[in-house]
Amino acid sequence: MYLVTFGLDPGEYDSEFHELNDVIQTAAENTDGYLGNRTWNTPEGDKVSFKTI
């Protein structure tokens, strides 16, 4: 099983970020056993976390 978590600062992201994010998401979705993903913010709202399982 693979579990990937990214911690990001909220804000605007450039096209290079979005292109890489799309590649990672597509690879995850095409992996046998892919269960989905979750996104959440810290209570303070200063961090965004994204988990793919």
pLDDT computed for residue 53 by the predictor: 64
Q: Say what the pTM is.
A: 0.66
Distances 15 to 12, 21, 31, 48, 52 between C-alpha atoms, Å: 10, 10, 25, 18, 21
Range of the domain at 35: 4-52
pLDDT of 35 higher than 90: no
pLDDT of 19 higher than 90: yes
pLDDT computed for residue 50 by the predictor: 67
Q: For residue 40, name the pLDDT band (cuts at 50, 70, 90).
A: confident
Domain count along the chain: 1
